[in-house]
Amino acid sequence: MEKQNDQSRMDRIVSLAKRRGFIFQSSEIYGGLNGFWDYGPLGVALKRNLKESWWHDMVAGHDELSTLPGAPTPYEMTGLDCTIIMHPQVWKVSGHFDLFHDWMIDCRESKRRYRYDHLHGRWASHRGKKVFVVTDQSGEEAAPHTVQKAQKFFGLRAKQVDEIEWEGTLVPLAASVADGSVTLSGALGPDAGEAGTLTEPREFNLMFETRIGALAGNDDDRAFLRPETAQGIFMNFKNVLDTSRVSVPFGIAQIGKSFRNEITPRNFTFRSREFEQMEIEFFCKPADSAAWYRFWRDRRWNWYLSLGLTAGKLQLREHHADELSHYSVGTADIEYAFPFLAEGEFGELEGIAHRGDFDLRSHMEGKLVRQNGQLVVETGPDGKPRHRGSGKDLSYFDDATRERYVPHVIEPSAGADRAVLAFLCDAYHEDEVPDEDGKPRSRTVLKLHPRLAPLKAAILPLVKKDGMPEVAIDLYRRLKAHMPCMYDEKGSVGRRYARQDEAGTPWCLTIDGQTLNDQTVTLRDRDTLVQTRVPIDACVDMLRERLH
């Protein structure tokens, strides 16, 4: 029951996001494009504030002279902005070209395509007829979907659904095919009417391909849109070292677009085909890398809390050994209980990975694979490296200890769009507030952290006369020099408060009759609804103070 509420809660969040101009479907007037989203006037401000908070807290505002709690030593931070299209060899050596794929499965009947690891199913039988019913729905919607499918398959009326016999609970299709308990020929696809229409799973590369140059046509012109921002940082590791006087330990940060041709984009912006990442590659001495890994895991976890994400909805999940990428020494995901997920399920916001020297070594020597516990250059049938590295020396000489080594890398990799979605979901509240006459009125409010809020304040003259607008406009101009704010004189003050609550504006400043007598205004707090009188000349400093 509760989850049904959560799904409808998610629907209301999506509808608010559209109605108030946070997020629109891309190319909507042409019917939209699945997996692509645009940020509207309020959304762009929210997303920009989120990225700027990240950049400020991780990079620009970082104090490299002090030792942060949990850090082994002080460290430096710097940044980059790299291209989306890079030399194709980057992706061959990084492993994305060979490995960056999902298994997908097609339905011959419905022509729909599914991610193999997203399909679940269970056995259903009715009067001797038996079928494995597959669903692509997740969470609480999955089981009812299989009931609906089975009812149709067996040709039953609604009141006959209780006659269907079910065997066990929903299980992943891939695992059931692997252990032989299910064959695809006996499976009823999520959108099919007949069993046996699902094809064998096939690999599908998630990188978008493009061609470089006007005469593009042969294989050498093939290029890819980056599926992560990290590789641009490795490409410039030596440039940064040679030009910026940084020394290990140090981090390079980048925010930028990434592209993945996701097979089943879904859950609003959670799984998009074009999205933004906020990534740090942190280079450290191999012996200290485990301590740095723990430091970054905890630092990134605390960052989400510092911006107000509800602790009880966040989860830090350390990967089990068998889940780790072949190069990874340790990985933790920071996950959020999004409302579109079933009870107890969490979706990844950020991964923090200890990547050892995998990346720098690959770009020196060639694509690496693990063999007998060691990373070795993968060779082709001719015994030569399958994908050759750059041959450039990317090792580091430590002046203090007179040692040369290939630094180890800790990578906190976050998604800006997923973070925006988590903050939106977390901030969304429905409550009741007294209106001007003291009667309870239901309101929708986004309790966004003031640093993230698109607008920090609204300046409202109580009425459009008696000199109030002039005083309000003057205050608006003074405040606008310091923070995004808006002037609004349209409609009743209650309606104007409601509009600001929906936009997540933390403070409203109202100019009324008393202002003209004693130079004070009403400061209304979005979350507590407390109204206090503040001298008009103190407003700017007071709000600036609160934003810090």
Q: Which of 6, 136, 140, 350 binds ligand ATP (CB under 6 A)?
A: 350
User: Given the rule CB under 6 A, which of 167-175, 194-202, 348-356, 432-440 is the region that contacts ligand ATP?
Assistant: 348-356
Q: Which of residues 384-413 bind ligand ATP (CB under 6 A)?
A: 413
**How far are the Cα atoms of 57, 117, 286, 315, 455 from residue 69, in angstroms, in the given order?**
14, 40, 20, 21, 33
Binding flag, residue 122, ligand ATP (CB under 6 A):
no
**Shortest gap between Cβ of 97 and ligand ATP (angstroms)?**
15
Q: Distance (Å, rounded) from C-alpha 350 to C-alpha 279?
A: 9
User: Given the rule CB under 6 A, which of 38-46, 175-183, 347-355, 479-487 is the region that contacts ligand ATP?
Assistant: 347-355
What are the contacts of 18-21 at 24+ separation with CB within 8 A?
20/502, 20/503
Q: Distance (Å, rounded) from C-alpha 100 to C-alpha 96?
A: 4
| Amino acid letter, 246 | V
Q: Which of 94, 205, 229, 277 binds ligand ATP (CB under 6 A)?
A: 277
Which two structure tokens, joined as six digits, stand for 390? 């750059």
Q: Which of 182, 225, 280, 414 binds ligand ATP (CB under 6 A)?
A: 414
Report the relative pairing of strands 120-126 and 129-135 from DSSP bridges.
antiparallel
Q: Per DSSP, what are the bridge partners of residue 398?
A: 403
Binding flag, residue 415, ligand ATP (CB under 6 A):
yes
Within 212-266, residue ranges assigned H as helices are: 230-235, 237-244
CB-nearer residue toward ligand ATP: 136 or 417: 417
Q: What is the chain's alpha carbon radius of gyration, rounded to the nearest angstrom?
A: 28
CB-nearer residue toward ligand ATP: 172 or 385: 172
**Residue with nearest beta carbon to ligand ATP:** 415
Q: Which of 191, 288, 348, 466 binds ligand ATP (CB under 6 A)?
A: 348
What burial letters (b/e) apply to 399-422, b meaning 16+ CB within 10 Å?
eeeeeeebbbbbbbbbbbbbbbbb
Q: Distance (Å, rounded) from C-alpha 512 to C-alpha 510?
A: 6
User: How many residues make up the chain in this entry?
Assistant: 548
CB-nearer residue toward ligand ATP: 281 or 417: 417
CB-nearer residue toward ligand ATP: 258 or 505: 258
Q: Per DSSP, what are the bridge partners of residue 330?
A: 354
Binding flag, residue 281, ligand ATP (CB under 6 A):
no
Q: Distance (Å, rounded) from C-alpha 286 to C-alpha 543?
A: 45
CA 329: distance to chain centroid?
24
CB-nearer residue toward ligand ATP: 122 or 271: 271
**Shortest gap between Cβ of 447 and ligand ATP (angstroms)?**
22
Q: Which of 126, 300, 367, 418 binds ligand ATP (CB under 6 A)?
A: 418
Q: Count residues contacting ligand ATP (CB under 6 A)?
A: 16
| Amino acid letter, 19 | R
Binding flag, residue 260, ligand ATP (CB under 6 A):
yes
Q: Which of residues 213-242 bind ligand ATP (CB under 6 A)?
A: 228
- Contact residues for ligand ATP, defined by CB under 6 A: 228, 260, 262, 271-272, 275, 277, 348-351, 413-415, 417-418
